[in-house]
Amino acid sequence: MRSRRGRPPAYDREAALIAIAEAFRVRGYAAASLEEIARAAGMNRPSLFAAFGNKKAMYLAALEDYRRRMRVAVSPALEGDGALSKVLVDFFDAVIAFYHEGTAPGCLVLCTAPAEALADKEIGRALADSITEIEEQLRRRILRAADEGKGVRDPAGLAQLMLATLTGVAIHARAGVKQANLKRFARANIAAAMPGTG
């Protein structure tokens, strides 16, 4: 049997990206070493480089895959029917659960990319794209509620406020705040932003 070069037969790109994302989420972009990333992914360094490229390429790939997994985990909550306040509560519950998957709580994008965004244009663009995407998802769902006559006065402003709440949840999760307290924080922001509306 001929020997095979490069990635081992057991290589699983999706599983490797999840492991790489977790290594960056635990340590941050700058502090995560290639040895730690390779060990987390269960790959040797040559195989890791062959599969993903250099450290920044690994990070950007991990960010994109993390965003994809977050969409799958939380976007269905925004598609729900009923009162907008309940939809937003369900959305934040899904977000908080997703932020607590794995070893390190918090959001890979919002908790690690800001430190690198000014120095690296590609990372800055990935951060900006992620924020824009989340805000647009929220804005679309809020506009839907407004079109249904749910009494939403400023859909764009409410979307921005919910995005700010999401950022606060991510940072608080990173700081070790318990999930129950994060849910209380999100609900308080929703109630304050939407008094007497649904």
Asked if residue 81 is part of any domain, the answer here is yes
Q: Is 13 a member of any domain?
A: no
Confirm whether 108 is domain-assigned: yes
Residue 111 lies in a domain: yes
Average pLDDT along the chain: 91
Q: What is the pLDDT of residues 48-106, one digit of tens each?
A: 999 999 999 999 999 999 999 999 999 999 998 889 999 999 999 999 999 999 888 99
- The structural domain count of the chain equals 1
Distance of CA 77 to the CA centre of its chain: 15
pLDDT tens digit string along 175-185?
Answer: 999 999 999 99
Q: Which helix (H) or strand (E) holds 123?
A: helix 121-147
Range of the domain at 166: 66-193
State how far Cα 80 lies from the chain centre: 20
Q: What is the CATH number of the domain that holds 150?
A: 1.10.357.10
Q: What is the pTM of this model?
A: 0.89
Residue 53 lies in a domain: no
Taking only the tens place, the pLDDT of each residue in 8-32 is 445 688 999 999 999 999 999 999 9
Identify whether 92 is part of a domain. Answer: yes
Q: What is the three-class DSSP state of 41?
A: helix
Alpha carbon distance 21, 15 (integer Å): 10
Q: Is residue 56 part of a domain?
A: no
Q: Does residue 3 surpass a pLDDT of 80?
A: no
